[in-house]
Amino acid sequence: MSGESYDLHLTTLSPIHIGSGKSYSCCEFVPAKAKSKGQIVKIIKRVNLTNYYSSLSDDRKDTFLASLTNSSFELKQFDKKIKKDFVRYQCIDNSRVDFINEVQEHIKTSDKLYIPGSSIKGAIRTAIFYNLLTEEDMDKIGKDISSNRRNNSFLSNDLLKKHFTSGFGNDAQYNIFRFMQVADTTTTNLPRIEQVLAVMATDDRRKNQPYSRHGNVVKSYLETIGTNKEFKSRLTTTFDSNLYRKLKLEDKSEILDLNYLKEVLFKFSQDLIYYEMDFADKYDIEYLSKFYETLNKKNTADAPLLKIGAGSGLMATSIAMKLKEYDPASFDRVRNSFRRSYDFEFPKSRKVTKQGKPFGWVKLEFN
């Protein structure tokens, strides 16, 4: 058995959020200020509530527990000066708001942020599938959609099997991707809290404003890895001609070739960037146009870009972009099956920070 191993160098080009599935509220953190690069910045200190509670007197414990039953309780109202011993970690508050009720947590190890190898591998897999689809495949998808066999999906399990497996036995065992491993990245500390807004395209270009409900702008708050952060990972591929032959995967070995990987990642990111540039130009969203014009220059064949995590959107995580170009009628059939669908654009929203920057873009370099 042989193979190749490549050092991956990742640089974040916009905020990254990979959710842990957990969140914490203002009863778990206190706002503060700190010096960063010679400037005073807003931060929040997330508190270890178990240790903090244990340190309280019996009377204070009772008061604290009673306060927690109030949904609007803020820890800073109870104690403005939390001792350093009880602070789990700090976040730079880049939300530009006076009050944060709840923060969605980024995945961590020992309270340090990282990018899971599974997120990187999943994005690579989507780009490869997008590249492998043939005209015959697209015709089949169109026929399945017109005969209502696809059920509101831009994916096709039989085509995934066709391109990634030999079609025999257990799919995971006979899948070419079992021979690719991507390690979790190195870690970083000091998350950045970003306010998340959904910019909405409308048929009236003058009204492209953040999504509102009942007159209030809908917003949420994420722990993120900030821009220009660097990480290391490792991509390893395994080659065993005898095993490939036994599993009938000989014709799929090109998928694991480094030059092929670079090429498909570059092309997929290029198509996605052009798609987003067209969207921004069509609806006169100037800050998105500028962002993607700059991003396009950073996408190269040797160091392609990748979109991962929260805010990736439908086009980055499926073959919808190809279906919309190849078979608009089939795309519209699937679009119309969604509860909220719009003739002039689908999907019609993009998640951005308060400063208007999309989420999820990283640059990959292979050594």
Q: What is the pLDDT of residues 154-197, one digit of tens each?
A: 666 778 888 888 766 557 778 888 889 999 999 999 999 999 99
pTM summary value: 0.91
The one-character DSSP state at 225 is B
Q: How far is CA 3 from the centre of its chain?
A: 29
Contact assessment for residue 11 and residue 362, using Cβ atoms and an 8 Å cutoff? yes
Q: What is the pLDDT of residues 114-139, one digit of tens each?
A: 999 999 999 999 999 999 999 999 99
Q: How far apart are CA 18 and CA 106, in angstroms?
A: 5
- Asked if pLDDT for residue 328 goes beyond 60, the answer is yes
The b-or-e profile of 227-258 (16+ CB within 10 A means b, else e) is: eebebebebebbeeeeebeebebeebeebbee
Joined tokens for residue 235: 């991509």
Go through the chain and tell me how many residues it has.
367
Q: Which pLDDT value is given to residue 200?
A: 84
pLDDT band at 203 (very low <50, low <70, confident <90, very high): low
| Best mean pLDDT range from 8-22, 216-230, 237-251 | 8-22
Q: Which pLDDT value is given to residue 207?
A: 58
Q: State the CB neighbour count (10 A cutoff) for residue 207.
A: 10
Q: What is the pLDDT of residues 15-32, one digit of tens each?
A: 999 999 999 999 999 999
Better-scored residue on pLDDT, 24 or 214? 24
Contact assessment for residue 275 and residue 316, using Cβ atoms and an 8 Å cutoff? no
- Asked if pLDDT for residue 223 goes beyond 90, the answer is yes
Least confident piece of the model among 97-106, 124-133, 238-247, 305-314: 238-247
Least confident piece of the model among 156-160, 205-209, 322-326: 205-209
Joined tokens for residue 229: 């952060």
Q: Which pLDDT value is given to residue 342?
A: 65
